[in-house]
């Protein structure tokens, strides 16, 4: 998936939603900077966005950005890492909570992704569209939610709950069942919440795991 999307009509003026932070506390200047960057990066891609545009949308002086982040790239990476880390925690809780029930683990992980996609669409879309830029494996110390899923799939194959195969391929197929609809929603092909389809997406993910 391309990191840069076609820029559509001008974005709406800042609202209360623009006070929500990703790392910073809601309502703080840093939170406004984070949210402005998130909105603009998700809409146009990091490279097309200037720090001046971020500052204007956040309602702060451009120099304020550099008091919190050394560069635009550092801001973009910090946002991604924060989202990625939180997703890791949610996936870990879902897998742990399901215990030895593989089908329950699949259903709960799918629910985590669907709920995340609906709770803050801009945040989720930013994470989804910048995986190729920031989400490559091998970054030291970075939590990896997909690695948790691969580990659980390997366990399921060992225990006979899932046919044997390449666990990375199986994880990609199962996650694609949720992430591709999210991408279609970004493209305007539908607008309803993914959480409304959690059960059907969980069944499809389980079928993909057992077919891949």
Q: Give the number of domains in the chain.
A: 2
- Is 95 a domain residue? yes
Q: What whole-number distance in Å separates Cα of residue 107 and Cα of residue 98? A: 9
Let me know whether 109 and 58 are in one domain. Answer: no
Q: What whole-number distance in Å separates Cα of residue 114 and Cα of residue 196? A: 9
Instruction: Please indicate whether residue 162 or residue 13 has the higher confidence score (pLDDT).
Output: 162
Q: What whole-number distance in Å separates Cα of residue 79 and Cα of residue 127? A: 9
Q: What whole-number distance in Å separates Cα of residue 64 and Cα of residue 33? A: 9
The reported pTM is 0.87
Let me know whether 83 and 112 are in one domain. Answer: yes
Let me know whether 130 and 51 are in one domain. Answer: no
With CA atoms as reference, report the closest residue to 29 among 45, 14, 10: 14
Let me know whether 142 and 192 are in one domain. Answer: yes
Let me know whether 140 and 116 are in one domain. Answer: yes
Residue 45 CA to its chain's centroid (Å): 15
CATH number of the domain within which 184 lies: 1.10.357.10
The 10s digit of each residue's pLDDT in 48-100 is: 999 999 999 999 999 999 999 999 999 999 999 999 999 999 999 999 999 99
Let me know whether 21 and 90 are in one domain. Answer: no
What percentage of the chain reaches a pLDDT higher than 90? 84
Q: What whole-number distance in Å separates Cα of residue 4 and Cα of residue 159? A: 42
Let me know whether 32 and 99 are in one domain. Answer: no
The answer to whether the beta carbons of residues 134 and 77 sit under 8 Å apart is: yes
Q: Give residue 17's pLDDT.
A: 67
pLDDT of 6 > 50? The answer is: no
Q: For residue 80, what is the enclosing H or E element?
A: helix 72-98
Which range marks the domain in which residue 204 is found? Answer: 79-211
pLDDT of 149 > 60? The answer is: yes
3-state secondary structure of 131: helix
- Is 11 a domain residue? no
Of the residues 38, 69, 100, which one is the last residue of a structural domain?
69
Q: What whole-number distance in Å separates Cα of residue 93 and Cα of residue 207? A: 23
């Amino acid at each position: 998936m391309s990191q840069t999307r076609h820029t559509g009509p001008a974005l709406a003026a800042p609202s209360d939603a623009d006070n929500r932070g990703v790392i910073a506390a809601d309502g703080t200047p840093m939170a406004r900077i984070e949210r402005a960057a998130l909105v603009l990066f998700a809409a146009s891609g990091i490279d097309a966005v200037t720090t001046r545009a971020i500052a204007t949308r956040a309602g702060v002086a451009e120099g304020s950005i550099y008091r919190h982040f050394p560069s635009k790239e550092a801001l973009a990476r910090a946002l991604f890492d924060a989202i990625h880390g939180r997703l890791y925690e949610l996936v870990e809780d879902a897998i742990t909570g399901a215990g030895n029930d593989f089908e329950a683990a699949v259903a709960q992980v799918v629910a985590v992704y669907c709920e995340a996609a609906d709770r803050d669409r801009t945040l989720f879309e930013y994470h989804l569209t910048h995986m190729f830029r920031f989400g490559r494996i091998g970054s030291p110390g970075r939590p990896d939610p997909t690695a948790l899923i691969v580990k659980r799939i390997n366990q399921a194959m060992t225990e006979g709950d899932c046919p044997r195969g390449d666990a990375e391929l199986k994880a990609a197929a199962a996650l694609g069942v949720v992430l591709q609809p999210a991408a279609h929603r970004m493209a305007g092909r539908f607008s309803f919440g993914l959480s409304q389809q959690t059960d059907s997406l969980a069944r499809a993910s389980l079928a993909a795991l057992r077919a891949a």
